Structure 1
Amino acid sequence: MAIEAAETRSGSDVKTVCYVGTRWVDCVFAPYFSPDNPQKFTNVHKVFGASNVAKLLNELNASHREDAVNSLAYEAEYRLRDPVYGCVGLISILQHKLKQVQHDLDNAKKELATYIGPSAMLPIINHQGFLHQHPNYGASAYQVMPHNMQPMMGVPSGLPHGSLLIRACQ
């Protein structure tokens, strides 16, 4: 199906129309699909259909149309690359990579802790009311505690589960 854009002039009124199949229609696509990038429209048309996209755009507020077209173009491009999963496949791959990187980072922190020892893994917090010296670790050790609370039964506190904070050696 060929879609062509053309300008028609009626007095001082200039409007863009599109030729879709066998008829000329007012072109809702013209502001959002540049003639410099015809592949963008071709992809959207192949995946969603021009009439479906036109209906969608006409139902949207004008301020949301450009974002909708960009989203449709992105989804159409990835649907053509991966007909089964489309952009969801790419999102899944990126989420998997993120989990792997987080896992690798956790392992690196654990390995680093075996080399530098517990005294170098102390929190660095800017709020002075929460930094207190811990009596069992020496003058340079700090613990995160509200200024009016002490640790209970010698249980260390302050670091969230799985976190590792390192201070530079003085």
Structure 2
Amino acid sequence: MEGGDPLKRKPCAKCRTQKRKCPEDCLLAPYFPAAKRRSFLSVHKVFGSGKVAKALKGLPEDQRAAAASSMVSEADARIKDPVNGCIGEINGLRAEVEMLRGLLAECEPEVARLKALVETGQAKTDPRPNEAGSPLPPA
């Protein structure tokens, strides 16, 4: 067949970066194909490809994809924030959740007031806002 063997696998990102032939039993090939070179380079920079391969080898095959994905996430976070890594992102998201909870707590009394107005039939039907900017009577 022309064009080469269709079953021939393309090299993984590690082998392609190192300009080597990718062995048939390459442990990194399923998780770091050549198209994911940037992900591999991040993981390699933070952890080293040998440690990544060793970590993946020590896991059951059904857990390796999740582990590789986690390593990419952690490596990207470490490159972005070398001191805190993923923990810095987690703490930032926790702070954002707390801020949003506070905003929600501020809005809940107004929502309850508006529901009560609608239930009692006191809500204006005119969609144009009053002087305060609300289409409903002031509290």
Note whether the superposition's TM-score is higher than 0.5. yes
| Match in the other structure for 1:6 | 21
- After superposition, give the CA deviation of every residue in 1:9-64 in whole Å (9 maximum; x if it has no partner): xxxxxx15xxxxxxxxxx21111102012111111011111111111111100010
| Match in the other structure for 1:34 | 33
Q: Whose strand fraction is larger, Structure 1's or Structure 2's? A: 1
1:5 shift after superposition:
4.8
The question of 1:64 aligning with 2:14 is answered no
Give TM-score, length-normalised by structure 1: 0.55
Contact 1:5-1:30 within 8 A present in 2 as well: no
SS at match of 2:27: coil
Tell me the number of residue pairs that the alignment of Structure 1 and Structure 2 aligns. Answer: 105
Q: What are the ranges of 5 or more consecutive residues in structure 1 without an aligned counterpart?
A: 9-14, 17-26, 121-166
| Match in the other structure for 1:51 | 50
Q: What are the ranges of 5 or more consecutive residues in structure 2 without an aligned counterpart?
A: 1-13, 121-139
Q: Distance in 2 between matches of 1:101 and 1:39?
A: 34
Give TM-score, length-normalised by structure 2: 0.66
Contact 1:47-1:79 within 8 A present in 2 as well: yes
Q: Distance in 1 between matches of 2:94 and 2:20?
A: 40
Matches within 5 A, 1:53-132: 53-113=52-112, 115-116=113-114, 120=116
Provide the aligned C-alpha RMSD in A: 2.4
Contact 1:75-1:87 within 8 A present in 2 as well: yes
Q: Distance in 2 between matches of 1:49 and 1:33?
A: 14
- After superposition, give the CA deviation of every residue in 1:86-126 in whole Å (9 maximum; x if it has no partner): 1111111111111111111111113444x448xx3xxxxxx
In structure 2, which of residues 119, 123, 126 is the aligned counterpart of residue 169 of structure 1?
119
Percent pairwise identity: 33
Quick one: structure 1 residues 41 and 116, their matched pair in 2 at CA, closer, same or farther if it must change by over 3 Å?
closer
Letter in 1 for 2:42: N
SS at match of 1:84: coil
Q: Distance in 2 between matches of 1:7 and 1:56?
A: 19
Letter in 1 for 2:66: D
